A and B are shown apart, each in its own frame.
Chain A
Amino acid sequence: MAQPDEGGKNMRACFRSDLSDRSDRRSWQGGRALWRLILALPVLVSLYLLGFLSAEMVASTGRPGESIALLRSTVRHLLLPAESKLDPLEAFQSTLSEIETHFYGQPPPIDKLTYAAIDGMLMALGDPYTRFMEPEEFRRMQEDTSGSFTGIGALLEDAPGGARVVRPLPNSPAIRAGLKAGDIIIAVDGKSLEKVALEEAVRMIRGPRFTRVTLTIRREGEPNPITITIQRDRVESPTVDLYLDDSENKIYRLWLQNFSEKAPQLLDRALQQVQREGGRALILDLRTNPGGLLESAIEVASRFLPEDSLVVSVKGRTGILENRRALPNRYRHLKIPIVVLMNSSTASASEIVAGALRDHKVAILIGEPSYGKGLVQTVIPTSDNTAVAVTTAKYLTPNGTDLNAKMVEGKRVGGLTPDIEVKQHEDWRPGEEDISKDLVLQRALQLLREQIQAQQPGNNALRARLPAER
């Protein structure tokens, strides 16, 4: 969140200076005044004409009177070249005022109209990440990055006719009430989710602590929908899950689901466990991790990189690079092979971490090319309850790779390319307990097992085994 108030102050300062330079026009004396008047005459005449013509333009409606029209068009081109610029504020203000006074239908509330106009203005930038946050969205964003909210504690995904439960979170109200992975929520408090977007569905399910919500769900093997009532409670946003995917070889998988404020702490706890239990290889699973806070990404990378290693370069509008480096006293000295898993939903902060670990040859990347969101957004509050996320900079990996994908002929090109590309099974869903369908994970396990069995500790050795390193 960068200096939210600067813009506002500048604005006001501008207004003041505009209004305050009329003071030097008061005193004039006889002869000089006449002289000035003569000088000013052409100006006055042309202004007169200008007044006449602008009135003409306001009134012009394609009525007869061709000589006037001819005069008008000739003179207009001489005196009033068509302006090619449109000031957004003026355009917005005048259009909105016309809507309010003249539109035949009942216009939507003025805040909704304003939000629509702002959305359209930001859309014209062609950058999907620069966006306006309405009060509801801004509030949710604040919840999401602070890492806890009140709800039922289930990970949902879009599904036909409603929302599918990817998995209920451990120790959550959802799991206590018996909600299962694969259940499809088709109604919330009796309201059908058929035409409801996932975001909206999530909003319907969330609510004040200790209130109740009734879900109608469809469950495989049950002929009829069943209803479950769940008491909402504070739910710790899941950020890190640790799995022992191969107990024989002690290969641990650390699934980092987002880069919330709490991510670094939770990561520490998990890494401690891996080290305490003598893990022999680590899989850092960044699949379907949409990113989060840049600070958290730096913190996370600092666990794997020695102090002062370059994590990411930030290239701003003026081209000045800010180099973010690994923080002191964070490095965990992991002496085991590390693999990073990624897929097409690995984005933003995840890509920063993956890119830094790859460029410093700390880990190898397995999976699908990443999403390619290499842009920094700064969230700036614009009123008590709204904010705007503005793309203020680009990310470059330590080797200088631009992380942002570009649209080329309707296809996204860019993002991080994995060292070993593995196409995922179509039926795989993130967070599924059964890992047999997880082809990316299987490939990573295979690689690490070979590595462990060859008794070659250290990542450089692992990288040396790669067929073609880029």
Chain B
Amino acid sequence: MLGLAFASGWLTHRILYRGYLARGSETVVQRDFAPTLADARVPSKEAKVSEPAMTALYFRVFSLVQQEFVEPIDPTRMAHGSLQMLLSSLNDPHTQYLSPEQRKRWLNALNGQVEGIGALLGILARKQGEREQQLLRVISVLPGSPAQRAGIQSGDLIVEVNGKWVLSEDPFYEVLELQRAHADRKKIREANERARERLRNSLTLSEAIDLLSRAPAPSASSQPEERASREVAPQENADGQGDAAAPSPNAKIELTLKRAGQTLKVKIEPGRMQIRPLEYRLFEGRWGYLRFNLLNGTAAKEAATALKTLQQGGMKGLIIDLRGTAVGHQDACLQILQPFITKQGGRGKQVPVALVEYREGKQYRKRPLSLPPASQPIRVPIAVLIDKGTYNVAELMALALRTGAKAQLFGMPTAGDASQIALYKLRDGSGFTLTIGRYLGVDGTGFHQRGIQPDMRIADAPRLQGQPEGDPALARALQWLSQTKEAKT
């Protein structure tokens, strides 16, 4: 009886929201080691582990420790430690355990509430001969963030944080080298001492990431300003997408960066900021411009409205700016693509826009990500702006626009991360991310690690101002649009 009541509640929900559920089962997040974006999954209730003996072993160890350990234990902490090691043993850059706070930060970031310096960080593994390094790298700098104001660029390597060395390689490497070279004992001892000192004064990668992605203790309740204004007119505050909270004093973080072989030092005040998902305008009354700072649900909703307004304003061509777009959500991305989908084959037939490769047992299979065709698809020429900060689902979107809507890509090759990532939520609010697939273009071409090559290569613009002046890629795209238009008429 009780179960029946519960079940009927559950069923009602399923019937009411079947549409959402169908899509919800494919929800995906992408991330690197920064709180970027998120989407919820809950581990399957009927957890079936292929070897029950292993579950029994795990349980036996846990109950023994619970009974016998010299001090009382905290099962939740043990569960966290357990998942941390389990997930890191997969050795996958996108698979990791998240504490409740870390998970929350992710979800916030997806909604545009970003803490810390406002840069998305990743880890770059490099091997030079025997020397293995894991470098902390800036994937993308969020517009209007403290990091952008401090002049940080995507691709920068963070070497030191507040004078502490970010542990990117074995500090005893030098010692090993000397020992291999049979240097004398004194020299080796000195090197050893240096390495120890270095280790003492260092931060692990995760400590550094945590420090850079956290706001200082909240001062005033700084409510983010309202969403982007909806006028077609150029926005007055072109680079003010962000709205950093007043940081408390003494909270500056000093970073030592490496960029193209040079070492720079910058000071950044971390804060909290609200990223506006979308900005748009109409150039010369003809060329629509959409700039996505985020690819989330709000961005999708705003994009739909923006496209309508632009079309009413007489849009003859469209520029979609995905430079530095690194925070996003697969479903939102598909939703944004939908108005550009033209019918293929029979009526109402879903049109594939990309493929996902996934594992089934020991085999790999591919399945399409498909969308229903738009009733009145947008058919204007499209230019997409990309750079090395165009990341993951943004890359997917650029590629889908190229293959599906014949868009021309302008700028620099993209970041090249095609991992399809899910974010899971566990009972206590902690969770984990898991790489569950790999995106491919609809024709099967991959962009993982390679990145997407632009049709027209244009060196990075120093600043994204939403103005063609000082933005060669945007200027070039506008020029291309007007030529294409002229050629057609």
0/1 string, B1-33, CB within 8 A of A gives 1 = 110011111111110010011011001000000
Asked if A17 is at the interface (CB within 8 A of a chain B CB), the reply is no
Q: Provide the bound-state CA to CA distance between A85 and B179, in Å.
A: 49
Asked if A375 is at the interface (CB within 8 A of a chain B CB), the reply is yes
User: A376: shortest Cβ distance to chain B, in Å?
Assistant: 8
Q: Provide the bound-state CA to CA distance between A201 and B460, in Å.
A: 51
Closest to A123 in B: B81
Interface residues of B in 412-443 (CB under 8 A from A): 419-420, 422, 424, 426-430, 432, 434-438
Asked if A84 is at the interface (CB within 8 A of a chain B CB), the reply is yes
Q: Is the CB of A104 within 8 A of B437?
A: yes
Q: Is the CB of A375 within 8 A of B2?
A: no
Q: Is the CB of B13 within 8 A of A55?
A: yes
Asked if B75 is at the interface (CB within 8 A of a chain A CB), the reply is yes
The residue that B79 contacts in the complex, of A106, A121, A122, A160, with Cβ under 8 A, is: A121
Closest to A122 in B: B65
Q: Tell me whether A388 and B70 are in contact in the complex, defined as CB-CB below 8 angstroms, given that A103-B434, A110-B49, A121-B81 are known contacts.
A: no
Among B85, B296, B359, the one with the most A-chain Cβ atoms within 10 Å of its Cβ is B85
Q: Is the CB of B62 within 8 A of A121?
A: yes
| Cβ contacts under 8 Å, B40 to chain A | 60-62
Q: Is the CB of A48 within 8 A of B185?
A: no
Among B54, B130, B176, B430, the one with the most A-chain Cβ atoms within 10 Å of its Cβ is B54
Asked if A177 is at the interface (CB within 8 A of a chain B CB), the reply is no
| Cβ contacts under 8 Å, B476 to chain A | none
The residue that B436 contacts in the complex, of A7, A63, A102, A118, with Cβ under 8 A, is: A102
Interface residues of A in 40-72 (CB under 8 A from B): 40, 43-45, 47-64
Q: Provide the bound-state CA to CA distance between A220 and B284, in Å.
A: 81
Q: Is the CB of A86 within 8 A of B426?
A: yes
What DSSP secondary structure best describes chain B's contact surface?
helix
User: A55: shortest Cβ distance to chain B, in Å?
Assistant: 4
Q: Is the CB of A99 within 8 A of B65?
A: no
Asked if A87 is at the interface (CB within 8 A of a chain B CB), the reply is yes
Closest to A117 in B: B86
Q: Is the CB of B57 within 8 A of A114?
A: yes
Interface residues of B in 79-123 (CB under 8 A from A): 79-90, 92, 95, 107, 110-111
| Cβ contacts under 8 Å, B13 to chain A | 51-53, 55-56, 59
| Cβ contacts under 8 Å, A45 to chain B | 5
Q: Is the CB of B78 within 8 A of A117?
A: no
User: B55: shortest Cβ distance to chain A, in Å?
Assistant: 6
Q: Provide the bound-state CA to CA distance between A47 and B10, in Å.
A: 10
| Cβ contacts under 8 Å, B55 to chain A | 89, 92-93, 96
Q: Tell me whether A86 and B58 are in contact in the complex, defined as CB-CB below 8 angstroms, given that A59-B17, A124-B82 are known contacts.
A: no
| Cβ contacts under 8 Å, B76 to chain A | 84-86
Interface size class of A (residues with CB under 8 A): 35 or more
Segment at the B interface, from A261-269, A300-308, A338-346, A379-387: A379-387
Asked if B243 is at the interface (CB within 8 A of a chain A CB), the reply is no
Asked if A434 is at the interface (CB within 8 A of a chain B CB), the reply is no
Asked if A18 is at the interface (CB within 8 A of a chain B CB), the reply is no
Q: Is the CB of B179 within 8 A of A84?
A: no
Q: Is the CB of B6 within 8 A of A48?
A: yes
Asked if B189 is at the interface (CB within 8 A of a chain A CB), the reply is yes
Q: Tell me whether A51 and B359 are in contact in the complex, defined as CB-CB below 8 angstroms, given that A97-B49, A122-B65, A383-B57 are known contacts.
A: no
Asked if B42 is at the interface (CB within 8 A of a chain A CB), the reply is yes
Q: Is the CB of A44 within 8 A of B2?
A: yes
User: A146: shortest Cβ distance to chain B, in Å?
Assistant: 23
Q: Is the CB of A392 within 8 A of B68?
A: yes
Asked if B73 is at the interface (CB within 8 A of a chain A CB), the reply is yes
Asked if A95 is at the interface (CB within 8 A of a chain B CB), the reply is yes
Asked if B71 is at the interface (CB within 8 A of a chain A CB), the reply is yes
| Cβ contacts under 8 Å, A103 to chain B | 90, 92, 95, 359, 434-436
Asked if B487 is at the interface (CB within 8 A of a chain A CB), the reply is no
Q: Is the CB of B90 within 8 A of A105?
A: yes
Q: Is the CB of A118 within 8 A of B9?
A: no
Q: Tell me whether A120 and B84 are in contact in the complex, defined as CB-CB below 8 angstroms, given that A160-B180, A391-B70 are known contacts.
A: yes
Q: Provide the bound-state CA to CA distance between A57 and B77, in Å.
A: 24
Q: Is the CB of A116 within 8 A of B6?
A: no
| Cβ contacts under 8 Å, B419 to chain A | 104
Asked if B53 is at the interface (CB within 8 A of a chain A CB), the reply is yes
Q: Is the CB of A382 within 8 A of B179?
A: no
Q: Is the CB of A117 within 8 A of B24?
A: no
Q: Is the CB of B428 within 8 A of A86?
A: yes
Q: Tell me whether A50 and B9 are in contact in the complex, defined as CB-CB below 8 angstroms, given that A61-B331, A99-B434, A391-B69 are known contacts.
A: yes
Asked if B39 is at the interface (CB within 8 A of a chain A CB), the reply is yes
Asked if B217 is at the interface (CB within 8 A of a chain A CB), the reply is no
The residue that A59 contacts in the complex, of B20, B70, B90, B362, with Cβ under 8 A, is: B20
The residue that A118 contacts in the complex, of B8, B48, B82, B435, with Cβ under 8 A, is: B82
Q: Is the CB of B75 within 8 A of A96?
A: no
A-B residue pairs in contact (CB < 8 Å), sample of 12: A51-B8, A51-B13, A58-B42, A60-B24, A97-B48, A97-B49, A98-B47, A103-B92, A121-B79, A121-B81, A160-B180, A382-B60
Task: State the 9 A-B residue pairs at the shortest beta-carbon distance, nearest first.
Answer: A160-B179, A51-B9, A120-B85, A124-B81, A94-B43, A55-B13, A116-B89, A121-B82, A52-B9
Contacts A51-B13, A120-B81 aside, 16 further interface pairs with beta carbons under 8 A come to A40-B1, A52-B9, A59-B13, A62-B40, A63-B24, A84-B428, A87-B79, A91-B83, A95-B424, A103-B434, A104-B435, A106-B362, A110-B50, A122-B81, A161-B180, A391-B69
